[in-house]
Every structure is written in structure tokens, then in C-alpha cells.
Structure 1
Amino acid sequence: MATEFDFIIVGGGTAGLVLAARLSEDPHVQVLVAEAGEDLRADLRVNVPAMWPQLQGTDADWQLKTVAQEALGNRELVFPQGHLLGGSAALNGMNFVPPAREELDGWAALGNPGWDWEGFSKYFKKTYTLTTGSKTENDGVLQVNIPEEETKWPQVFRDTFGGLGFAAHNDPFSGDIHGAVTYPDAIHPVTKTRSFSGNAYLTPAESRPNLTVWTGVLVDKILFDQASPDGAVATGVQYTTKDGKTQTIPARKEVILSAGTFYSPRVLEQSGIGDAERLQRLGIRVVVNNPFVGENLQTHPMCVIAFETVDDGADGFETIDPIARQNPAALGAAMEAYTSKQRGPFSQTNSNVMAHIPFPGIHTDSGKQDLEQILKSSAGTALSGVKITPDFTEAHEALVRSVLTSPTGASGYYLHFPGWAFYGPTGALVPIPADGHERYFTIAVLLTHPLSRGSSHLTSTPEGELRLAIDPSLLSHPLDAEVLARHVRFLESTLATAAPLAGRLKGHAAPPGWPRGFSADLDDARRFVRENAVAAMHYAGTCSMMPREKGGVVDSCLRVYGASNVRVVDASVMPFVTRANPMATVYGIAEKAADIIKAGL
């Protein structure tokens, strides 16, 4: 086993394992991956698609929590984050959603040449092979699959949006999709198991003699030599082993942080890269003063309504509820279908149809007037406690305005689940009511381009222990709350009352205390948002890629400003979060980063 490495990759997650596989293709470089979690590639909860929620809240999850969110009635939220080999791609719901052209072009316009749609697409295509029925497209590493629909719910969901004028337009991989569309999942089309960086990228590469993977190793900080005129030079990392020993390992070429949206900025701050005043208060020697490290945290706010259905599961309207209730007959039948035929509810995420919908009412004069009014009333809002430059704010507000005012712009993102999938006040999944035989259909709506911004920083406990203070400041920008309230009204008063979906739904089952029709009063919809909005597991932005003077932490080659041989490669570099699930984009970021790094060898 090697004792010195050219590249040390901190974090063996979604992006880190892509980098490990690509960089170790060169037999002349030694690559080390240091992952804090364990290797659970053989675990059923990782591999069986429908079992993915069972990993949340376990040791495979960092089990992060936010500070109290003022705009949400001071609720604290749980933030699941992958703490295992493969990262959040081994823990999440597997939806493989490509980015939109408009947001990538927005990244480039900030001062990131080569990161627009045209420059990014070729790297994104390297990540996947798409299977639809017997048809295979592209020739990438991950296996992504549009599953055969085994119930009628997806078609009903699609048809309802179509009847409302929101049928799908364009291919999901075109960059310009809007309306209701069926997306693939990162599931192998034959074995019907999760396809992720752990088994798709690492497994074929792990026998290489120049690739070493450590698990259960927590990197504490990067070690620097500050004597170089080109900026601080990373010489290695300090890490803590499973038995609590502190050790160091040298890096000959680069240290690459792929520790995720929360731990990449944490490692930077622990290493002395961040806001000088903050670091000095914590007793950390300042290596690079950059106040934007850990800032610009963003995710999608989400509201969920679970409806009771009129069906008993017959005639193609089965739901996953009997399995969730641990019904022995239902569990046995589902497992038999999965193990013998790779079919049934265990073989899918059961949530592939999604809809990208414009601002509700944008096609009417009254809706346009409503939008102009809320844009006017929220204009010039200054977010308190967040370090964001005027240049960045102007660029981001322009993107959001263009989305909101376009009749095909996606300001809301709708998901469905054939069964109980309700998230409680903290954002944790609430177990299905155990008594009874009711069946459910759950609909969620996400705000695609929030203006609210937060932060994730090191802080100190009264005992002097360093920990993370995560404050997404969800819905702190008034425009976010106003737009999301109107999407909740559309979900509850329009979508759920339109054919053919309306004929399948009874009253609300969750959240309690909100009777059918509540959203007819916009004030009630606003109150619903404040009391029930949670966060999707789509965190980004804390090590943003853009010019330093605009608020950047890394440049367009993903190099950390002020450090000559440190990069960040994960979702934290996104200056704007993508409009939907970011996992697919993270894979593309890692593929592009690998080529950038190789070009310098």
C-alpha cells in the first residue's frame, strides 16, 4: 500500500469517487480517497430502490440539524446527508434530473467560462447510459432507467397536468424541458439495484494498484506551507482514525475537497481558509482570508400534502402503504416479485413523473398583475446576516425574474408518490398511521429558484468543541414565500381538483388541521407555507464558483482562491442550485473537474 499520494480526495461521495476513478486511470499517479463513513455497497438499504428512506437517521447519515428558522416559526430542520461510501448518491431517492440550460448559462455569465450548457453537456453525457424499455441511449458510466409503470398513478398525474395545459415539452435531456415529464432513476435496468458512484465508478476501478480508499477516516484539516509566492501550498492532510488517533498523510500534487456542501467549507475553515474574524475567534490560524467560505447556502423549500385515496389498491391503483405498514402478505408478495422477476414496488422509487410549472396564473392578465405586484413589493430586499455581493445579487435576481415572468419558466417543481410520504415539522419522514387500511397519494411542490440564502460555519460550544452551525435561512426572502404560497394554492385548489386525479382523492390526510379548500384564501396558503415548509435534500453553494470579487471561493478551474493546489469538487461549488434534484449535475461537475485536473498533469 502506498504511503504517499499525488492526490488526496477528501470525501468518497457522489463526486469524490468519480474523481478517484478518473484520476487513477493514469497509472503514474497515486490517488487516495479518505471517506468518513463506511462501505455499505452490499447493504440492501443502499441497493433496493424502494428501501432508500431507511438509511436516513442512521449512521449512514450525518444527521445534521439547522438552527431555528425564523421564517418557519422558529422550527429546526433535519438535513440528511450521506455519511457512507458513495455519499448522498447512496442515500437519496435516485431521481436523475438533468440541469436546465438557463441555470448553467447563468453560472457562466457570472465569470465561469466553459460552464455554460454547451461547455457542460459533453461532460454530463459521460455520466450515464439511459435505458427505456428495450432502447438504450448514450454510453456513460451510471445506469439510469425509465421504469415500466406498474400502476396507473404516473399516467393519472401526467394526464392531469396535461389537461391543465402543462403537457411535457422537449426531451428531459434537452435542457429546456417544461411541463409534466417522466424522468429516469439511477437504477440498473436489469438488476433493478441503485446505480451510484460506489458501484458504477469505484467498483470497476478499485483493484488498481494506484488507487487507495480509506473508510472511517475523518479529515480534520489541510496542512499548508505558506512560504510560496503563489499562495498557500497544501502539503497534506491531518485526519482522525476510527480509534481516535490523529495522523497526517502528505500530498505531492493536490488536495481535493469533495466532502459535500457542509463539510467542504468546514474543512476549509478548520484549515484556516475563511472569514478571518470568525477564524480568530475560534483560535484558528488564518491562512487565507475569504469571508465567502460557507456562505450562499441554498436548497429548495418544499411543501407536501398527503391525500387519502378513494381506492383500495385494486384496478391498477396500488399504493405502497401496505408495505409501509409492514403487512406480511404485502411484504412477501413485493419481495417475491423483486427477487424472482426484478419487478414490483421494491424495484422502483415509485416517483418518476415530475412537473415543471410556471408561476400560477402567468397566462392570465390577473396572474401577471399579481406577479408584478409581488416582484415590486419584494424588490431591493436585503438578506440579513448573509455575505452576498451586489454583483451576485443582481445576476441571481435577473435569473429568477426571467423564470417567473416566462410562460414556460419553471418556478415550481411537482413530485408525486403513490403512498404515504409526509414530512413533519422538522423535515423528517413521519411514519404512516399504523392503525387502519387507508391508502394515500402524496404530492410535493418545490420552489425551483429561491432567492433566500444562508450559511454553514464552524462555531464553538461553551465547552470549546467545534461544531457546525447550519442556517439555510429558508424563505427569508419575501418573494420565495409569496411564490411558494401560490404554488401550494395551485396544488390544493387546482391540481388536486382536476380530472382525472380529482376522482381518485378524498380529503387531506396530512398535515392535520388543513381541510380541503383551505388555499382558496391566499393568507391561509401563506400560513400553510410558514407552518409546513421544509427543505429538500438539495444543498449547494457554500464554496461557490465565481470570481472572488463577486463572492467566489473557487475559480472556474475549481481551485480555492489563495491556495495554489486545493480544489473543491462537489455541490458546494454551484453558485445557483439547479432547479431540481442536483445529483445528476454533481456527477457532471466531477467529470469536468477530472479533465481539468488531468490537463495540468
Structure 2
Amino acid sequence: MRNSFLLLPTLGTGLATALPSNLSRSTSKGVSDAITNSPATLGNASFDYIICGGGLTGLTIASRLSEDPTVSVLVIEAGYNNYSNPMVNDVRTYGEAFNTSLAYDLKSTPVEWQGGSRLQLVAGKTLGGSDSLNGASWTKGARSQYDLLPALTGDDSWAWTPFNQHMLKAENFHTPTTEQRDEKGAYFDSISHGYGGPVQVSFGAGMFGGTQLPALETSEKVWQNLTRNSDAASGSPLGATIIPNMVDVEASQNRSSSFTAYAQNQVQERDNFFILTGHRVTEIVWQNGTDKLVAEGVRFQASQNSTVEFIKAKREVLLAAGSLHSPQLLELSGVGDSDILSAAGVDVRLSLSGVGKNMQEQTKSSLYYEPKGNTSFNGSGPASAISYVTAAQLLGSESDAWYNSIAANITAYASALEADGLVANATATAEVLKLQLDNVFYSQDTPAAEIFFTIDMDDNTVGIDLWNLVVFSRGTAHIRSNSSWDSPEIEPSYFRSPLDLAFQTAAAKQSRQVFNTAPLSNCVVSEITPGTDLVSTNATTAVWEDWVKSKFTSVWHYIGTLSMMKQEYGGVVDSRLKVYGIENVRVVDASVLPVQLSAHLSSSLFGIAEKGAAMIKEDWAGK
């Protein structure tokens, strides 16, 4: 049987689990034998690596670590294998899974401008995590944004040039067809992509034509000095562009996710790679009698009232539960701000004040229009036309005044953030905010807002989803009790910084101008949202601000809650992704990003997981 080696006696910490010589490796085992929802299948096992979360980064790092047949790897995921569900495997169903069992039921704290309502916060609860539910866009941030990371971590290997190699390793790019290039504007820069990696990246057989090129042409008229960008994965995403998606190049264009790319086949072919679904890790268990915290293993449950199980980790526990759940797991295990832990009834094992703080989340506004009856979409999707605009293009003649105002108040603002428990260190936060401010205003490659042109064939609408990319507000994600079955309390603190609102408002106002300018205006009949009855043709900035605040949603690009920064900056993990003060726990998901990127996050998260796996292999080489 596939799991026969699991009945071996536990080996000591630091030793690899060598498979016995009489155990034959087979490549014909089925998914049901490799992916199980029964802990009994695992026996009284121990694993070298236990990965908490089977999302994008968790499955990626598990696959890379299990390439070594002498180590054993277990992924524990709360969701199930739902790949056959069209809401997962068909990117064109984007959004249909959000209110189902495929996603966690998470809400923000009350939003004052929306009558105290709590905004939906989407996080995938299925193998592949949010990577199995997202829009599958493949872009990268600005080179200069990645180049901020060495200053925050003290490690040059996180700069653009070396880090991009890990993003490239994940990718298998398919060049566009002649039709896609010549008729639909699908251009690319060959050196900006990887070839031969697990993740399939293509323009998709169903790539839209229709309004996409008119949208980009109009963008170049509305935003001064905006030009066509052949590739948003080049490290310089500014401009109007057609992006590829994580979809198979075949006509079926199924989603290519961390599950399909890194786990679906690999977990069947490898005797050392296991995935336990339908179970939630509830706590990290610590060894007794050690000066530094050492993880002994994890506890997990199938449901709140089910049996609590334990499994031992001989090498490391890796947190890959995402920006909202990874800090929850650390806090439930006694690691975090001592005041937060005590209030929740959790014994403090390690005081680490940055846990759950420094959260950065983007905000989305949407405009919708009715297309003319003769408008052809010339495809089935997904949509792929984007304009990335700068702070100067958004703020115009007020740009310098905004920069000077934010810069002058940055110390006081950071102090207020610390006083409200949103960041761990005001002095360091002021430094980080100044780096971000200088970057978004004065770098030559950093967009301040994304203008994503949407096409909804079911509703017969075209439109724009827009969001500010570089977030200056800070929020938190903390436990509210000592039960892992209580959702974390998530306070994004939307628009805490007036600059976030300024970027969002300008982008919304100017997006209407795009639809009122030819050639895109020739493709639409009338505005549906917001509508001139709500926001008049000559509406003031204040009216647009009110509309933005009353109608925005989250983008679901949460980062920063377990930031990879120097510890004196309020960081939680070091540049090797190891939690400060703990011997053998790392974090390998979006929560480690200390600042937002002007991008859809998937490519960067694959890069983090690829780099994380490489570092773990380096650290254990010869041991």
C-alpha cells in the first residue's frame, strides 16, 4: 500500500525519512490513495515537513520539497479536491464560487460609509486555495517595488533580478497565435517569461477581441503620456496592455492552478507526498524544555466537535494558510502581541508584536455600461485588457501637493497607526511609508492604479474594475477567541490614508471619461453604474468620493500580516521566511509581503514558494 512507510518508527529531529529499500515506488496510484480526508490513512505518522494550507504557496512548496524522495511531506487543507467543479476549473465562471463552500465565510469589521455593513473577504477553501477561484491574471509588480525588499529585509536576494528567476521557474509561457497578436493585440516580451515550468500561462483560446483594443486606444487619449506596453510581466507594467492568464493553451482553456501544476499528478506519483483534506490545523504544538521555541507538530480537526488529532513534524512546520489565517494560527499557538493573546484567553509562548498587523488591502470600484447591439466581443474570455496609470496621471497638477502633504505628515500618521494597534513600530513604519511614497510618485515603473476592462457576456455589460495599487492604509487580522473555529477579526482600515481615497476617486472619475471618449464611446449606449442620476456628469470630486466610499468592495489581495522585515521594523519572519524566535516554523504565503505590489499577486506568490523551497533545501543540505 502507498502509506506503508508511515508505520515506521519515528526518526529523530533532523533526520530524513528514508524509504525502506523493499518499498517499490509506483506511478499508477490514484488520487483517492494520495489525497485523503481520513487521518487514519496516515497511521501514527510523522513527517519531515507539515504544511498548513493547501493553497497556491502550500502546494507549490510541498511539490518542490517532495522532489527529494528521502523526505516526507504532508499538506493539511481545510477544503477538498474540487477541481472537477466548473466553478474551479473554468476561469470564465469567476465569482460564482465566492458564496459557496469553496470559500471561507469571512467579513471585514463594519464599514462606516456603508451603513456599518461588513464587506465580503474572499479566501479559497479548496485545494489550490484562492488560486483555484481567482481571475487567473498573470502580471508582475514594478522592478523598483521588489527592489525595496532588500532595504526592509537586509537580504539582496529578494531584489527584482534574483527573485524574478523564481517567478520564471514556475511559468510555462505559450506565445500568442498570429490572430491573437495581429487582431487582438496580444504582444509579449520573450525574456519576461519562463518556459518549461509547471504553471501554464497563455492568452487563452477564448481571448476577447471586441472592445478590448478600443479600450486601450482610448486610455492612451485620456491619460497623458500613457503608451502601449507589450508586457506587464517585464518589471515595468506601466501603460495599456493585454495580459495573459493562467489557463491551458488548449481550446478547453482550463484553469492552471497550483493544484493542477504542482500537485495533481505529483501527489499520485510520489510515495513521500500526502495531502489531507477536510481538516483544519488548530494549533502548533511546542516541545518542552527548549530555550527557543521548537515546533513538535500540529493539532488538527475535521470539525469543531470532532476528535483533535496530532501529527509530528521532524523538521519544520510551514504556514501557508494565507494572510488572514496564518496569523490566526500563530496567535492560537501562543505567538503574537501579548495583549491580543491574553484578551483571547491564549497563553503567551512568544511575544511577537507584529503578528497580524501591517495588513494592506486594496479597494475596488466598478463602472458598468450597456454595449451597443452590434458590439461583438469576439471571444468567450476571460477579459485581459488593463491600463496601469501613474500617480501623476491620476492627480495631475495636484500631484506635488499630495506628495508634500503626505510626506510632511508621515511621522504623525505612523504614530497614529501604532497607537491604534495597526502596526508594531511607528518609526519603522514611517520609513517604510516614505519608501513607498517616493516609489509610487517618482519611480519610472510603478503604477498607482489598475484600470481593468471587464466584459460580462451573461449580463451584457462592459465596464471597468479599478483599484488603487499602492496602499498606505494599514489594518489587522487577529483572533477573537481561543477557538480556531471562530473566524479572525479582520480590520482592513480602508481609506485610513487620504491618499488611498485620492487615488481611488481620481481613477473612478477618469474611468468615466474613458467611456465618454472615442473609440470606446462608440461601443456603448449608456452608463449603468454609477449612473448620472447618482453621480452627475459634472459631479465634483467630493461627490465622487462619496460614491467610492459607499460602493467599494475589497480586491482580496491581502498581504503583510506576517511581514518579512527586520525584527526591529516589526517584522515577523526573516529573509529566510523563519519566524523570529522559533527554530523550525516558516511562513510561505502572501502574509510575508511587507508592501503591496502593483500587480495581481499570483506570479509573485509562486516566486515566494519557489524561493522558499530552495532556501529550505539549502538549509537542510547535508543534515
TM-score, normalised relative to structure 2:
0.84
> Which letter does structure 1 place at the counterpart of 2:463?
T
Q: Does 1:217 align with 2:217?
A: no
Match of 1:385 in 2: 421
Deviation at 1:450, TM superposition (A): 1.0
Task: List aligned pairs for 1:53-72, cutoff 5 A.
Answer: 53-70=95-112
The SS at the match of 1:296 is coil
Q: Does 1:411 align with 2:471?
A: no
Counterparts of 2:558 and 2:470 in 1: how far apart (Å)? 13
Task: List aligned pairs for 1:35-434, cutoff 5 A.
Answer: 35-70=77-112, 74-113=116-155, 114-134=157-177, 138-147=195-204, 149-164=207-222, 165-169=225-229, 171-190=231-250, 191-207=252-268, 208-229=270-291, 231-241=292-302, 244-309=306-371, 311-312=372-373, 314-317=374-377, 344-345=379-380, 348-349=381-382, 351-359=383-391, 361=393, 366-372=397-403, 375=406, 379=410, 380-381=412-413, 382-383=416-417, 384-389=420-425, 390-405=427-442, 409-419=446-456
Deviation at 1:284, TM superposition (A): 1.4
One of 541, 560, 580 as aligned partner of 2:599: 580
The SS at the match of 2:296 is strand
Distance 1:530 1:27, change over 3 A: same
Distance 1:388 1:279, change over 3 A: closer
The SS at the match of 2:367 is strand
Match of 2:469 in 1: 448
> Which letter does structure 1 place at the counterpart of 2:470?
H
Query: What CA deviation, in whole Å up to 9, does each residue of 1:536-560 have, x standing for no partner?
Result: 0111111100111101111100001
In the alignment, is the contact (CA less than 8 A) between 2:334 and 2:350 conserved in 1? yes
Query: What CA deviation, in whole Å up to 9, does each residue of 1:353-382 have, x standing for no partner?
Result: 111101254796x34455346536864423
The SS at the match of 1:68 is coil
The SS at the match of 1:185 is coil
The SS at the match of 1:306 is strand
Distance 1:516 1:440, change over 3 A: farther
One of 516, 519, 522 as aligned partner of 1:500: 519
Deviation at 1:588, TM superposition (A): 0.6
Deviation at 1:52, TM superposition (A): 2.6
In the alignment, is the contact (CA less than 8 A) between 2:359 and 2:558 conserved in 1? yes
Query: What CA deviation, in whole Å up to 9, does each residue of 1:392-429 have, x standing for no partner?
Result: 332233322331245754111110111279xxxxxxxx
Distance 1:276 1:134, change over 3 A: same
Counterparts of 1:547 and 1:115 in 2: how far apart (Å)? 13
Query: What CA deviation, in whole Å up to 9, does each residue of 1:455-479 have, x standing for no partner?
Result: 0100139x99744111100111112
Counterparts of 1:464 and 1:406 in 2: how far apart (Å)? 43
Distance 1:152 1:369, change over 3 A: same
> Which letter does structure 1 place at the counterpart of 2:476?
S
The SS at the match of 1:39 is coil
Counterparts of 2:58 and 2:566 in 1: how far apart (Å)? 24
Deviation at 1:527, TM superposition (A): 1.1
> Which letter does structure 2 place at the counterpart of 1:223?
V
Counterparts of 1:518 and 1:292 in 2: how far apart (Å)? 45
Query: What CA deviation, in whole Å up to 9, does each residue of 1:71-107 have, x standing for no partner?
Result: 6553310001000011000011111112221211112
Counterparts of 2:349 and 2:119 in 1: how far apart (Å)? 33
Distance 1:598 1:408, change over 3 A: closer
> Which letter does structure 2 place at the counterpart of 1:253?
R
> Which letter does structure 1 place at the counterpart of 2:542?
D
Counterparts of 1:120 and 1:153 in 2: how far apart (Å)? 35
Instruction: Give the count of matched residue pairs.
Output: 551
The SS at the match of 1:459 is coil
In the alignment, is the contact (CA less than 8 A) between 1:79 and 1:537 conserved in 2? yes
Counterparts of 1:579 and 1:362 in 2: how far apart (Å)? 15
> Which letter does structure 2 place at the counterpart of 1:21?
S
Counterparts of 2:60 and 2:500 in 1: how far apart (Å)? 34
> Which letter does structure 2 place at the counterpart of 1:111?
T
More divergent stretch after superposition (559-568 vs 168-177): 168-177
> Which letter does structure 1 place at the counterpart of 2:142?
A
Q: Does 1:598 align with 2:607?
A: no
Q: Gaps spanning 5+ residues in structure 1: where? A: 319-343, 422-431, 433-438
TM-score, normalised relative to structure 1:
0.87
In the alignment, is the contact (CA less than 8 A) between 1:507 and 1:516 conserved in 2? no
Counterparts of 1:123 and 1:375 in 2: how far apart (Å)? 35
> Which letter does structure 1 place at the counterpart of 2:212?
P
Deviation at 1:386, TM superposition (A): 1.1
> Which letter does structure 1 place at the counterpart of 2:584?
N
More divergent stretch after superposition (378-387 vs 254-263): 378-387
Deviation at 1:282, TM superposition (A): 2.1
In the alignment, is the contact (CA less than 8 A) between 1:239 and 1:247 conserved in 2? yes
Q: Gaps spanning 5+ residues in structure 2: where? A: 7-44, 179-189
Counterparts of 1:162 and 1:28 in 2: how far apart (Å)? 55
RMSD: 2.4
In the alignment, is the contact (CA less than 8 A) between 2:138 and 2:233 conserved in 1? no
Counterparts of 1:376 and 1:308 in 2: how far apart (Å)? 42
Query: What CA deviation, in whole Å up to 9, does each residue of 1:288-321 have, x standing for no partner?
Result: 1011101111111111111222x12x35246xxx
Counterparts of 1:373 and 1:514 in 2: how far apart (Å)? 36
Counterparts of 1:196 and 1:288 in 2: how far apart (Å)? 35
Distance 1:362 1:446, change over 3 A: closer
Query: What CA deviation, in whole Å up to 9, does each residue of 1:430-462 have, x standing for no partner?
Result: xx5xxxxxx32121211010100100100139x
> Which letter does structure 1 place at the counterpart of 2:481?
S
Distance 1:484 1:85, change over 3 A: same
In the alignment, is the contact (CA less than 8 A) between 1:170 and 1:176 conserved in 2? no
Counterparts of 1:20 and 1:399 in 2: how far apart (Å)? 33
Counterparts of 1:210 and 1:47 in 2: how far apart (Å)? 27
Query: What CA deviation, in whole Å up to 9, does each residue of 1:580-600 have, x standing for no partner?
Result: 211111111000000000012
